[in-house]
Chains A and B, each alone.
Chain A
Amino acid sequence: MKRAGIPTEEFIYSGHTACPGCGALLVARYLLKVLGKNTIMNIPACCFAAIPGTFPDTCLGIPLLYNAFETTAATASGVEAALKIKGKKEKINVVGFAGDGGTADIGIQALSGAIERGHEIIYVCYDNEAYMNTGMQTSSLTPKGATTTTNPLGKKGGWRTRNKKNMMDIVAAHDIPYAATVNPSYPMDFVKKIEKAKNTKGTSYIHAYSVCPTGWRYQPELGLELGRLATETGLFPLYEFENGRYIINYKKKTKEVLEYYKLQGRFRHLSEDFIKEVQEYIDKEWQKLLVKEECSNR
């Protein structure tokens, strides 16, 4: 059954151990609502590895297979291959569900391999923009200006000076059949994209915006608002890469980066000049995305 386009069935039950307001949980919740019961989920070391509960308990209504930190895509490949040879793949979704560190850093080789081989898996990166499980260290998806425990503020100002890696472009460069960004603040868009991933022949990649009140230092109840701001500022644009074409799903880039940055403790130290620099970069990236959409649809 669906309500406002969102399936009503739940696969995450009570008893999870996530922090209040955790975005990862919300990402998994919408994901499983769409994928349903016939889903096997692979989880590496990350916050989400601790969330469903300790052995033998689980608060998820689907089978989970935990895997080594950097092996999510290889593990999902193995599950998919086994299901195929057993003639069971048709009805089962194989999902890799990893953090930004497990995806963009240590797991990028395995991910590249799996996409290149064309396994029928849905790889979801829930991007909370740092290694949260180990206490908020910098990953290659930590945004410019953020402080983390390995980019501590310090006397000389030690915040991160590099911009986020563009994972969507990286997977697009693999000629992946389907990739999309999703944001739980836009549930209908989210659900529609997981539906597409489910029906994709070959690998699909989902890059999910995933708030983390603990690591980003803001009040948990602000999560959905932050999500909307992330998209409305163009920091986290909603778009798809489907059969070689970029499609932007939400074009109202109406807000300033500052509005988003000022709500979070991890950006509190930044000067207005610095944030202006970020704004310029984001504006450029947005322009690039518009061009990518235009060129790829010609």
Chain B
Amino acid sequence: MVKKIMTGNIAAAWGARLSRAEVIAAYPITPQTIIVEKLAQFVSDGELKAEYLHVESEHSAMAACIAASQTGARTFTATSSQGLVLMHELLHWASGARAPIVMANVNRALAPPWSVWVEHTDMMSQRDTGWIQFYAESNQEVLDTTIMCYKLCEDKDIQLPAMIGLDAFYLSHTSEIVDIPDQEKVDKFLPKFEPAYPLDVENPLSIGSLSMPHQWYPEFRYKIQEAMERVIPKLNKIEEEFYKEFGRKYTGPLELYNTEDAEVVLIISGAATGTVKETVDILRKKGIKVGVIRLRMFRPFPSDYLVKALSKISFIGVIDRSFSFGHEGAIYSEIKASLYGLNAPLIKNFIVGMGGRDITTDTITKIYENCFSCLKNNKIDIPVEWIDIKV
């Protein structure tokens, strides 16, 4: 084990390297570029034995990864924003093909207007593509989750792709101390990729052919959902094994921070969780009972876990760094749906930090204050409120 100071981008590249990705197909986009540059460096230095494809678009990157995965190679790619949404058709294809691709996505806003700064709309808008979705809070988590994702995705019971979101600049370009696990230990933790149905000239199969309505299409779809339902239990086991091997504990789909006796809990995902935790510490010192839940995973959506975690909470504020136009924040929608029919507490949606606008402890303090005032009046003032908006 070596400790190094590195950015989230470098951590993602290390995750792929330690996992011994065999085929990497990627296309550059700010702020992801350093991931693909670092991987190219690893390959050209002979530190990673992989085929590196300089594809001509993200669309082809994903197509090549799918095909390489179906041929039996462990594959990795990285993208962001416009690149991710360009892949959209093939994201559906990857899960339909049951290709356990692991992808780092640097969460960035979508144009126009151009913005290279953090927002989660890129990944949130891919929620129905059949990919497992993680949102990281730290660079260490980016590296560790990459390794764990291969083990999760390649499991015979899962066989689905996963994307790991890391916030533009806050993680992608910010340096932190990161433990780089020993290669031998990773090799022990992560077995070789053995696809269930690889392309094989000795056993010629026709993969992905037409299926009529009376044949097998619905069954293929149903099986994707069955696999999704196995993801969280499997993740819990993998995290336990990871803890035993590497000594770092992850807490499944949620991370709870001071929620036990909290009156008001905010729910958030991504790197801004750090700011919320800090605000919680400040407010707790003043005796104010606040907590935060970090959503590490958005697909599969951990409804049961949230319901349990929220059972004693009086007020929930959901922070979305993305928006579904004509409706509300995506996390907010999901949480309301999860609580439907239960004795639900008051719940309000805050749209914050779009296009990388800074989220400060002041922002979060104001949000907590607003929650308490709603709680006091037993009434939500504005159900979906955009924060720090100049118009």
Q: List residues of A whose CB falls within 8 A of some B CB.
A: 37-40, 42, 49-50, 52-58, 60-68, 70-71, 73-79, 81-86, 92, 109-110, 112-113, 116-117
Name the A residues within 8 Å of B50 (CB-CB): 85
Q: Is B63 an interface residue (CB 8 A)?
A: yes
Contact A49 B72 (CB under 8 A): no
Kindly state whether residue B283 has any CB partner on chain A within 8 Å. Answer: no
**Chain A residue with the shortest CB-CB distance to B25:** A78
Q: Answer whether residue B205 sits at the interface, using C-beta atoms and an 8 A cutoff.
A: yes
* Cα separation A112 to B71 with both chains bound (whole Å): 22
Name, among B61, B72, B203, the residue most crowded by chain A CB atoms within 10 Å (CB to CB): B72
For B205, the chain A residues whose CB sits under 8 A away are 58, 63-64
CB contacts between A and B, total, < 8 Å:
158
Q: Complex: how many Å from CA A45 to CA B73?
A: 24
Contacts of A60 in B (CB 8 A): 204, 206
Q: How far is the CB of B55 from chain A (nearest CB, A)?
A: 6
Taking a contact as CB atoms under 8 Å apart, the answer to whether A86 and B90 are in contact is no
A113 touches B55 (CB 8 A): yes
5 sample A-B contacts, Cβ–Cβ < 8 Å, listed by A number: A42-B67, A63-B200, A77-B60, A78-B65, A116-B56
**Known A-B contacts A55-B216, A76-B67, A117-B53; A81 and B73 likewise in contact (beta carbons under 8 Å):** yes
Interface of chain B residues 194 through 209 with chain A (CB within 8 A) = 199-201, 203-209
Contacting pair A86 B73 (CB below 8 A):
yes
Cα distance A79–B51 in the bound complex, in angstroms: 11
Of B57, B64, B93, B211, which one neighbours A81 at CB under 8 angstroms? B64
Q: Please give, as numbers and ranges, the residues of chain B lying within 8 Å of A52 by CB-CB distance.
A: 206, 209
Q: Name the one of A78, A83, A86 contacting B64, with C-beta atoms under 8 angstroms.
A: A78
The 8 Å CB contact of A66, one of B59, B65, B208, is B208
Number of interface residues of B (CB under 8 A): 44
Are B206 and A78 in touch, CB under 8 angstroms?
no
Do the beta carbons of A71 and B71 come within 8 Å of each other? no
Q: Report chain B residues within 8 Å CB of A66.
A: 206-209
Residues of chain B lying within 8 A (CB to CB) of residue A78 = 23, 25, 53, 63-69, 71, 75
A88 to chain B, nearest CB (A): 9
Question: What residues on B are CB-neighbors of A76 within 8 Å?
Answer: 67
Residue numbers in A under 8 Å from B204 (CB-CB):
58, 60-64
Cα A198 to Cα B302 with chains together (Å)? 51
Interface string of B71-105 (1 = CB under 8 A from A): 11101000000000000011001000000000000
Is there an interface contact between A81 and B56, defined as CB atoms closer than 8 Å? no
Q: Which residues of B contact A61 (CB under 8 A)?
A: 204
Q: Give the CA-CA distance A3 to B270 in the complex, in Å.
A: 66
CB of A7 to closest CB in B, whole Å = 17
A54 to B25, CA, bound (A): 30
- Which residues of the other chain, A, contact B55 by a CB distance below 8 angstroms? 74, 77, 113, 117
The 8 Å CB contact of B63, one of A49, A68, A86, A112, is: A68
B342 at the interface (CB under 8 A from A): no
Q: Using Cβ atoms and an 8 Å threshold, which residues of chain A touch B23?
A: 78, 81-82, 85
Q: Tell whether, in the assembled complex, residue B51 and residue A92 are in contact, meaning their CB atoms are under 8 Å apart.
A: no
Within the assembled complex, what's the spacing in Å between the Cα atoms of A54 and B22? 32
**What residue in chain A is nearest B203 (Cβ atoms)?**
A63
Known contacts being A62-B204, A85-B51, is A110 close to B199, with CB within 8 Å? Answer: no
A109 and B56 contacting across the interface, CB-CB below 8 Å:
yes
The answer on a CB contact under 8 Å between B64 and A112 is no
Which chain A residue lies CB-closest to B206?
A: A58
- A63–B50 Cα gap in the complex (Å)? 24
Q: Is B212 an interface residue (CB 8 A)?
A: yes
Contact residues in A for B69 (Cβ distance below 8 Å): 78, 82
Complex Cα distance A162/B90, Å?
Answer: 32
Which of these, A42, A55, A110, contacts B215 with CB under 8 Å? A55
Say yes or no: is B248 at the interface (Cβ < 8 Å to chain A): no
Which residues of B, 254-287, contact A by the 8 Å Cβ criterion?
none
Is B366 among interface residues, defined by CB-CB distance under 8 A? no
B259 CB, nearest partner CB in chain A, Å:
44
B171 to chain A, nearest CB (A): 28
Contact across chains for B66 and A75 when beta carbons are under 8 A apart: yes
A71 to B212, CA, bound (A): 23
Whether, in the assembled complex, B70 has its beta carbon less than 8 Å from a beta carbon of chain A, the answer is yes
Nearest-Cβ distance from residue B285 to partner chain A, whole angstroms: 54
Interface check B230, CB cutoff 8 A: no
Chain B residues contacting A71 (CB-CB under 8 Å) are 59-60, 63, 90
Q: Does B221 contact A (CB under 8 A)?
A: no
A251 to B203, CA, bound (A): 43
Q: Are the CB atoms of A63 and B63 closer together than 8 Å?
A: no
A81 with B25: CB separation less than 8 A: yes
Cα separation A83 to B203 with both chains bound (whole Å): 15
B54 part of interface (Cβ distance < 8 Å) = yes
